[in-house]
A = this chain, B = another copy of it.
């Protein structure tokens, strides 16, 4: 992790996030791919706001299974749960690309933040979307088999008609075993919805995948991305 200093730091400071002035003590942190921004179980000292990059939220269960709760992107907050709640089990946050965040040491600012309308309004919207998103994922995971959820995930993450996410990550995210994920991917290939090329999967029958994914729709709304 690198802490930006001087001009490099100044480049990234933003002032629309808070009514109060906190820029003086705001740090700018850069994390490498795979680096842990927050370690699971260890309360962070900073409230983060992601400026660029991507990260993943993980939790480890007692039986050893690991769940990838969600992806984090630019303009998301990290550490807001610890700011708001004294009692909270801290999830692990891992950068999946180079990630640059604003980092505000919140112990000194906590009271002020909780009285800052601009900050609270933004955070409220962020949390409402996050909460809705989790509820949607939850109900979908219970109501539909992997076939539908995977089709949706492929359409969401494919770029130029090519899907090439890491299987291990996808297992943790969709909550299924590696074995089963492969099985369903193979089914898609057998049906010629996908074609495997090296380690990539090329989308052949977009309409069929869309049909499978379409079944999930009802709820969420933030699903407009096309392949």
**Knowing A63-B144, A217-B62 touch, does A69 contact B120 (C-beta < 8 A)?**
no
A199 near B: Cβ within 8 Å? no
Q: How far is the CA of A115 from the CA of B118 in the complex (A)?
A: 8
| A123 to B120 CA separation, bound complex (whole angstroms) | 9
- A1 close to chain B: CB less than 8 A: no
For the complex, what is the distance from the CA of A107 to the CA of B217, rounded to whole Å? 28
Q: Which of A7-15, A42-50, A85-93 participates in binding chain B?
A: A85-93
Give A87's nearest chain B residue, CB to CB.
B221
Q: A128-172 toward B: CB 8 Å interface, digit per residue (1/0)?
A: 111110110111111110000000000000000000000000000
Q: Which of under 10, 10 to 19, 20 to 34, or 35 or more describes the interface residues of A?
A: 35 or more
B89 touches A128 (CB 8 A): no
Is A135 in contact with B69, judged by CB distance below 8 angstroms? yes
From residue A122, how far is it (CB to closest CB) to chain B in Å?
A: 10
Flag whether A65 is at the interface (Cβ < 8 A).
Answer: yes
- B69 with A138: CB separation less than 8 A: yes
Please tell me if the beta carbons of B128 and A81 are within 8 angstroms of each other in the complex: yes
Q: Which residues of B contact A138 (CB under 8 A)?
A: 67, 69, 134, 137-138, 141
Residues of chain A at the chain B interface (Cβ within 8 Å)? 59-63, 65, 67, 69-70, 80-81, 84-85, 87-89, 91, 114-117, 120-121, 123-125, 127-132, 134-135, 137-144, 174-176, 214-221
